Structure 1
Amino acid sequence: MLDISSRVRVHVETLLAAQNDMGVCDAFQQYAPARKPDAMNAPHPPKVAGTDPTIPPPAHTAAPVPGPPPVPAPGGPAPGALLQDRLAGWVSDLTTLHELTERLARTRTLDAALQELLRAGAALVGARRGLVVLESGDAPGPGTTVGLGLARADLGHIETVPRGALPYGRLLDTAAGLPGGEGEIVHPDLFADDGLDPRHREVAARLGYAASYALPLTTEATGRLGAAVWLYDEPAEPHERRRHLVGLYVRYATEHLARLTELEYTRACMTTIAEELLPSRLPRVTGVQLAARHRTGPRGGGDWYDALPLPDAALGLAVGSVTGSGPSAVAAMGRLRASLRAYAVMEGEDPVAVLSDLELLLRLTEPARSATALFAYCEPALRKVTLAGAGHSPPLLIGERRTEFVETSVSAPLGMLACWEAPSVEFETEPGETVLLYTDGLLHRTGDPMDRAFARLHAAAAGVPRTLRRDPGAVADHVLRTVLPDGLDMEDGTEDVVLLAARFD
């Protein structure tokens, strides 16, 4: 006689062991079949002196083999088939969770992760629309609200409902959204709820949803991060198995969102610090118009620019880049820029002396760091420019009759040689011509070899429309968008980008 129960028991134990190895066995304990020892097949110790002591089996022995299953009713499914269906369900759930978490892990921005959370959650609970609200009590700044299948106007209507009447408001403002709290808020039929807020009823009727299911975005490690709500077009609610799966998914998603939130906050802080170390506004000098554009990388880089009035109605222009990225590079950039301003005020008419002093300071105070820099001493009344560069890309002269790179001497970056010195270059501009200074990040972000990147930059400058040439800001924007097309100028890149344009009247 075929022992179906023994075979099924072996497969169940094998699956549970594999699930324990994968760390997700606890996710499916509720589906584990109950098993009771069979008293008829249990070993009986011998009776001694008329007693029948109960001696537990040793811990290392195998569990008793359960007895045969009950005889199914005629025409009903066999027990083995039922367990096989249950096993297939577990494997399907594991596969689904694995695929969804893998897709979520591939997101690199907070917005993309929120959209992926809403889409995956909607598929798990069987909804069509939803929204997620990030509102951590620890992170500064306003909350973030993202919708799935909801336009901005729809989100605006939802925000007119009193906060305490909305599921996410209850999760965020009460202990329900904390670890160990209520955990979920289910409204299977909003319009059948006599206690529903009148404004909530009006908004639900306007937007066409009749039920909702909400979960907090919270874990023991991250605390309360926000809440997610999925909306149903008809009265409905997810069954127990769907709730269990979406709960596991949201737990992982919360940890991923917490990491991305911290990363975005760090990036914002680095961008703010870098911007504060650069000029808050450019000076106004007779005979010249100035404009600057700056794009900071995600980790914060050391590219900088400066423009400062000098004695005798002169103007000093500078761009540079410090090696490395992160807080240390940003701090070094601030120190270098402040030092160059001091040297420019004292001896700005000699750009070689300014860069020589800067190189000596860098070599003595930060011997492990190098930097590139370019300093130009401008006399707007004469439209004359005297400049010197240390390992920096040459400026670009843009005019009606010519678009060309300024010939500068080849020189090593600051901090690379025991004693830096290079000859300066002097040239004059025509009325209406623009001198464009930039950092190497503009060229590196193209992804092209340097010769092709220089050619792309030259073509972009030569193609500036005549109607834009009177505005140095428009010239810089056109060059930036042309060299880095398809929005690459606004995306985060590994390199900082700086452009400083000076148009001489």
Structure 2
Amino acid sequence: MLDIAPLVRVHVDAWIAAQNDMGVCDAIARNAPVGKPTAMSAPHLPKVAGIDSTVPSPTHTAPLPGVPAAPLPPGALIQDRLASWVSDLTTLHELTERLVRTGSLDEALHELLRAGATLVGARRGMAVLEPADGLGPATTVGLGLAHADLGTIETVPRSVTSYGRILEGLPDPVAVPGPIAVPDLLGEAELDPRHREVAARLGYAASYALPLATEAAGRLGAVVWLYDEPAEPVERQRHLVGLYGRYATEHLARLIELERARAQAATIAEELLPSRLPRVPGVRLAARHRTGPHGGGDWYDALPLPEGALGLAVGSVSGTGPSALAAMGRLRASLRAYAVMEGEDPVAVLSDLELLLRLTEPARSATALFAYAEPARRRIVLAGAGHTPPLVVGEHRTEFVETSLSAPLGMLACWEAPSVELAPAPGETVLLYTDGLLRRTGDPMDRAFARLHAAAASVPKADRGDPGAVADHVLRSMLPDDPHAPDPAGEDVVLLAARFD
């Protein structure tokens, strides 16, 4: 508890200046309180950030005409302003806490629109993300506006809109523009006719645009809130939404950097994988690859071998990031060389790969599965090192291939797992995959295997003739939310499907 003396001497101008330029503690120190106000514990109505909570006096306590009102008790002004500051800080804390929990640009932009609409008292809005450096990503999201409404707004020339002047009106990409308020849009005599038509059609009469820019992050975009009636935020609302906007811009800048890093990792991973699958008589191939946000080391390969044979491989390198991607590229290139030399013996191929990994990268481990297929004879010989077993999907069976257990590459004292042979029937598909498909479900491994078996067994009969359709159905069944989205935990997913005629 603060022990404040009974008498308080406050100069109004000095106090307002302290409110604008200093924090609560600095303002109190600047105005040197010398007494304890007698009404410090008197009840006061709570205040909400951005809303004037002045309430008229009840009728039974209204002052009589001609009778002077009782003077405010000493310190009442200080207490009201302190309560207002505490309310504002509480509101900003809650809104920024909600913002920081967003993990994607789309979520962050929607949260920014919702919080800003609360602070400025609007009902609808639109956020345009266009980093000034031109490297993207670029997107537009709306609050209370359908996709068609956003398209209608974008037909208005940008030079006549408030958010357009922020995005395109400044030649300096690192300059921080100010907010733009249009309190009576339809009342402007020189308003662009197309802008007037769109505003009347969508039913908004005022706008308040805020730049998404800081000196450190540069200009990232703009956000505009739309009012149904002529209006504009008061000074207190502008101050609060400005503070929130600066914090939101910094958060968006971090998310943009993460999104760019993820896109770069995905591009590198795709470049290290086959650009196209080979065409071999008697078999049709399809592959699906989903890269995690940090760039994992899952990979696949398919290469034609002498005498009409085909080599199929999937694997996973430990770790994430550029080093894992580089190790994945080296491992895949080495396996291709070993497969050309001795592909008919999968155990020998993986033994050579084990020796290479042990000598060149002793601190890294990897899993791999290599299959030597002869489509004309519908015969497959395969061996695995710490990898998940393949799955055979057909009209009359859906079952895992019984492979011998083995430690991952880089952890073997000697090679102990022999190869296995299987003969897929005409029309059956052999599905090779990495354990990222199982881990991204979030289930224990036994349940994840059961889900994979159920997903493969439920492939519609019309899709069983297309290996790509089989892979897509398995992805949708295993990851129903969004099978194409990267996993926030960093798990890659690889599926390689081979259908034998």
Report the TM-score, using the length of structure 1 for normalisation: 0.85
**Amino acid paired to 1:99:** E
Contact 2:393–2:399, Cα closer than 8 Å, also in 1: yes
Paired with 2:175 and 2:468, the residues of 1 have a C-alpha distance of 55
Q: 1:180 to 1:465 in 2, by over 3 A?
A: closer
**Amino acid paired to 2:407:** A
* Equivalent position of 2:160 in the other structure: 165
Q: Aligned to 1:381, what secondary structure does the other structure show?
A: helix
Q: Aligned to 2:275, what secondary structure does the other structure show?
A: coil
| 1:366 maps to which of 352, 361, 364 | 361
Q: Indicate yes or no: 2:260 matched with 1:265.
A: yes
Q: 1:185 to 1:436 in 2, by over 3 A?
A: same
Q: Indicate yes or no: 2:449 matched with 1:454.
A: yes
Bigger Cα displacement from structure 2, 429-438 vs 376-385: 429-438
* Equivalent position of 2:293 in the other structure: 298
**Amino acid paired to 1:350:** D
Q: 1:182 to 1:288 in 2, by over 3 A?
A: closer
Q: Indicate yes or no: 2:496 matched with 1:500.
A: yes
Q: 1:178 to 1:74 in 2, by over 3 A?
A: farther
Shift of 1:439: 0.8
Tell me the alpha carbon deviations over residues 44-96 of structure 1, each in whole angstroms, 9 at most, x when there is no partner: xxxxxxxxxxxxxxxxxxx6959x9xxx9544544533332222111111111
Contact 1:177–1:216, Cα closer than 8 Å, also in 2: no
Q: Aligned to 1:408, what secondary structure does the other structure show?
A: coil
Contact 1:161–1:199, Cα closer than 8 Å, also in 2: yes
* Equivalent position of 1:287 in the other structure: 282
* Equivalent position of 1:243 in the other structure: 238
Contact 1:178–1:218, Cα closer than 8 Å, also in 2: no
**Amino acid paired to 1:194:** A
* Equivalent position of 1:428 in the other structure: 423
Q: Aligned to 2:301, what secondary structure does the other structure show?
A: strand
Larger Rg: 1
- Give the count of matched residue pairs: 465
Name the % identity. 76
Contact 1:433–1:503, Cα closer than 8 Å, also in 2: yes
Paired with 1:64 and 1:504, the residues of 2 have a C-alpha distance of 88
Q: Indicate yes or no: 2:219 matched with 1:211.
A: no
* Equivalent position of 1:443 in the other structure: 438
Tell me the alpha carbon deviations over residues 422-450 of structure 1, each in whole angstroms, 9 at most, x when there is no partner: 32112212111111111111122222222
Tell me the alpha carbon deviations over residues 247-291 of structure 1, each in whole angstroms, 9 at most, x when there is no partner: 111011110110011111111111111122111221111101111
Q: 1:465 to 1:77 in 2, by over 3 A?
A: same
**Amino acid paired to 2:155:** T
Shift of 1:6: 4.2
Paired with 1:178 and 1:293, the residues of 2 have a C-alpha distance of 40
Contact 1:171–1:177, Cα closer than 8 Å, also in 2: no
Shift of 1:500: 0.9
Paired with 1:106 and 1:409, the residues of 2 have a C-alpha distance of 44
Q: 1:397 to 1:84 in 2, by over 3 A?
A: same
* Equivalent position of 1:58 in the other structure: none
Paired with 2:287 and 2:77, the residues of 1 have a C-alpha distance of 71
Structure 2 unaligned segments of length 5 or more: list them. Answer: 38-66
* Equivalent position of 1:233 in the other structure: 228
Shift of 1:485: 3.2
Q: 1:201 to 1:73 in 2, by over 3 A?
A: same
Q: Aligned to 2:313, what secondary structure does the other structure show?
A: strand
Bigger Cα displacement from structure 2, 411-420 vs 171-180: 171-180
Shift of 1:386: 0.8
* Equivalent position of 2:193 in the other structure: 198
* Equivalent position of 1:412 in the other structure: 407
Paired with 1:395 and 1:7, the residues of 2 have a C-alpha distance of 84
**Amino acid paired to 1:503:** R
**After the TM superposition, which parts of structure 1 deviate over 4 Å for at least 4 consecutive aligned residues?**
3-10, 24-29, 31-36, 63-66, 176-182
Q: 1:177 to 1:251 in 2, by over 3 A?
A: farther
**Amino acid paired to 2:189:** D
Q: 1:27 to 1:335 in 2, by over 3 A?
A: farther
* Equivalent position of 2:45 in the other structure: none
Tell me the alpha carbon deviations over residues 115-151 of structure 1, each in whole angstroms, 9 at most, x when there is no partner: 0101110110111111111111225136221111111
Paired with 1:120 and 1:304, the residues of 2 have a C-alpha distance of 42
* Equivalent position of 1:56 in the other structure: none
Q: Indicate yes or no: 2:382 matched with 1:387.
A: yes
Matches within 5 A, 1:323-342: 323-342=318-337
Shift of 1:26: 4.9
Contact 2:432–2:496, Cα closer than 8 Å, also in 1: yes
| 1:144 maps to which of 139, 144, 164 | 139
**Amino acid paired to 1:396:** L
Q: 1:265 to 1:100 in 2, by over 3 A?
A: same
Q: Aligned to 1:464, what secondary structure does the other structure show?
A: coil
Contact 1:414–1:420, Cα closer than 8 Å, also in 2: no
Q: 1:223 to 1:409 in 2, by over 3 A?
A: same
Contact 1:177–1:224, Cα closer than 8 Å, also in 2: no
CA-based RMSD: 3.1
Shift of 1:459: 2.3
Q: Aligned to 2:219, what secondary structure does the other structure show?
A: strand
Q: 1:98 to 1:310 in 2, by over 3 A?
A: same
| 1:316 maps to which of 308, 311, 317 | 311
Q: Indicate yes or no: 2:478 matched with 1:477.
A: no
Paired with 1:4 and 1:277, the residues of 2 have a C-alpha distance of 71
Q: Aligned to 1:191, what secondary structure does the other structure show?
A: coil
**Amino acid paired to 1:100:** L
Report the TM-score, using the length of structure 2 for normalisation: 0.86
Q: Aligned to 1:476, what secondary structure does the other structure show?
A: helix
Contact 1:218–1:251, Cα closer than 8 Å, also in 2: yes
